[in-house]
Amino acid sequence: MAQLEIHIPENWPAAQQEEAGTATLFAWLLRDENGKPLRSGRATLDAMPAATQCRIVVPASRVLLSSVQLPAQNRKKFMQALAYAVEDRIMADPENVHVAAGEVQENGEASIAIVDRTWLRQVLDKLRANGLEPVRAEPETLFASCGKDAWTLVWRGTGGFVRQGAHSGFPLDGGDARQPPAALPLAIAGAHKPASIQLYLDGANAPDMDAWSSVLGIPVTAAGEWQWPASAAHGIDLLQGEFSARSARADWLPRLRPAFILTSLILGLQVLFTVGDWAMLRFEKYRLATSMEQHFRQAFPDAKAIVDAPLQMSRNLAELRHSAGMADENDFLPLLARVAPHLGSVARLRSLEYQQGKLKMRLALPNTAAAESLHASLPQARFTSGDSGPGSLETELTIGK
């Protein structure tokens, strides 16, 4: 899992370079999956080595490092409005800057990095247009080592940058072999004075260390050639909020799209068939109910209201039979005739009740086998178990409407 780090030049992307078609060379470093440097070089964006992840290093001159004191409450809302919290330090419209937050210190302060929003958007768009999707962007300032009571200075001949502490530093502009950049003595006067300054050379000749030490009042010592650090983690990630790197899941979404479409289609068809089946059953119910009402009205045209056509039909037919002197199937004698042949000699009658077309008989049976036999012979009847005494089982038989 190789990681590619690309150093963004200070003046890129530049309109004049785009118009002239000039190919910009970018310094790059390739790391292994553990962050250990493998090889480095300079190349155009379309000639970068292959890697599974891409990170970018933002030049020190493009980033302002600072810190803010976080409130004890509503920290989340405060972090969302960081640009307005540092408005007095940037002398620019908060809408034009992007503020990224780093670690929160024990004293409640959070380190922050401020960068021009438009420039950062242009950089990311250019990289993505060349097939590079950065997952992290870090300020160059925090790439330098951080010593105790010592500042680290990276010198490029007419400028560079200084790292003061774990989350602080600033860019340098100007200076020569005998005179340090003007920002350096001003920073020393306005901060806790370091014991020394370690100077690294980045493609430049070494200045006069004694002359610089004399001007600054601090020993300036040579530390060798500047090289990218061995670690892959250096500080504040600028890709926060609106610039957050797209999740790795987003890369899988195009591959999963056919499955999503197929699943959605299956679910849609299932819902469609379910709704269609429900609609057909509802229509069939309506058709049957309408047919029963029509038959009922044809048989009994004098009926004023129809609530339950089958039940009303059954009751009216029973009344007609009674008025004609005919027995109905739910009368006492027909019901008794249906039950009596199945009782045999083993069942003893305890009580008998008939009411509104329903016959109830309380029986005493000798054993469980007799009860099961009676249940099987009268499937249309309903049985309820009662109290059982010695040598008998009590049950209640109900038959009729």
Structure tokens at 311: 């039940």
> Does residue 216 contact residue 197 with C-beta atoms inside 8 Å?
yes
Tokens of 350: 């305890």
Identical fold, 145-228 and 332-400: no
In order of 82, 213, 221, 222, 225, the CA distances from 210 in angstroms are: 42, 5, 9, 11, 19
Topology of domain 1-143+232-246 in CATH is Nucleotidyltransferase; domain 5 (3.30.420)
Of the candidates 68, 51, 57, which has an alpha carbon nearest to the alpha carbon of residue 1? 51
153-188 burial by CB neighbour count: b if 16+ within 10 A, else e?
bbbeeebbbbbbbebbbbbbeebeeeebbebbbebb
Q: How many CB atoms lie within 10 A of CB 222?
A: 13
Angle of CA points 49, 233, 31, to nearest 5°: 25
Please report, in tens digits, the pLDDT of each residue of the chain (401 residues total).
Answer: 789 999 999 889 875 455 445 688 999 999 988 888 889 999 999 999 999 899 999 999 999 998 888 887 776 777 777 777 777 777 778 888 999 988 887 788 888 899 999 999 999 999 999 999 999 999 999 999 888 889 999 999 989 999 998 888 999 999 999 999 999 999 998 888 899 999 999 999 999 999 999 999 999 999 999 988 766 566 789 998 889 876 444 555 566 778 888 888 999 999 999 999 999 999 998 888 888 888 888 888 877 777 787 778 777 777 777 677 777 777 888 888 888 888 877 788 888 998 878 899 998 888 888 888 888 888 888 888 877 666 678 888 999 87
Superfamily of chain region 332-400: General secretion pathway protein M, EpsM (3.30.1360.100)
pLDDT value, residue 255: 67
The CA distances from residue 398 to 191, 359, 368, 388, in Å, are: 101, 6, 19, 18
Q: How far is CA 84 from the centre of its chain?
A: 29
Q: Which residue reads 């963004």 in tokens? A: 8
Amino acid at 135: V
pLDDT value at position 254?
63
Nearest CA-CA partner of 55 in 24, 36, 28: 28
Q: Is the peptide bond before 9 cis (omega within 30 degrees of 0)?
A: no
Per-residue model confidence (pLDDT) at position 252: 55
Distance separating alpha carbons of residues 274 and 293, to the nearest angstrom: 29
- Characterise 58 by phi-psi region: left (phi > 0), alpha (psi -120 to 50), beta (else): beta
Cα angle value 174/178/179 (rounded, 5°): 40
Say how far residue 128 (Cα) sits from the centre of its chain.
24
pTM (two decimals): 0.59
The answer to whether 162 and 152 are in contact (CB under 8 A) is yes
What is the Cα–Cα distance from 21 to 15, expressed in whole angstroms? 10
* Strand arrangement of the beta sheet that strand 63-69 belongs to: 63-69, 109-116, 97-104
- Domain 145-228: state its class: alpha beta
Residue 22: its pLDDT value, please?
65
For residue 60, which of 145, 171, 183 has the smallest C-alpha distance? 171
Q: Domain limits of the chain?
A: 1-143+232-246, 145-228, 253-321, 332-400
